[in-house]
Amino acid sequence: MARLDPTTRRLLDEFQHDFPLDPRPFRVIGERLGLDEAAVLDLLCELQEAGIVDRVGAVLEPGRVGASTLAAMKVPPELLEGVAALVSAYPEVNHNYEREDAYNLWFVVTAPTPARLRAVLDDIADRTGIPVVELPLVEAFRLDLGFPLSWS
């Protein structure tokens, strides 16, 4: 996908905010773009496969639904890749990343209940033998993750 056609550009620009709250949101998007629902879904899959779109989904305010936390671990460098793979295998883990610090593996866990959140953190610590430091949200900052794209 070398160049993005006008319809693809509209899809990327116009639906970063105000995503349709509809049982069939991709049908609604298609109607606005002059495509059918399947074409919108195919286009989004193509954009993901090309690495242009990473994720399509809601961004929820922390604490509104379920429970979440940032967590960190001090992982010996020779174990980092394996521990990161184990952490990423949990469906409750949104993402993890390496940092250049004693606490070198950081990740975000989101669960339906505080009890399930605790169970995931405890299970990771038990399975790796490495303590998990929980870093709960203290103050929320609202960042607008949408941005206008410039096309050259």
List the one residue out of 85, 20, 7 whose CA is nearest residue 46: 7
Task: Identify the burial level of 116 via C-beta atoms within 10 angstroms of its C-beta, where 0-12 means exposed, 13-18 middle and 19 or more buried.
Answer: middle
% of the chain surpassing 90 pLDDT: 65
Whether the predicted pLDDT of 2 surpasses 60? no
Mean pLDDT is lowest, of 73-87, 113-127, 130-144, for 130-144
Mean pLDDT of 76-89: 96
Could you tell me the two tokens for 69?
């936390």
Average pLDDT of the segment spanning 48-67: 78
Give the count of beta carbons closer than 10 Å to the beta carbon of residue 109. Answer: 23
Confidence (pLDDT) at 145: 64
Check whether 71 has a pLDDT greater than 70: yes
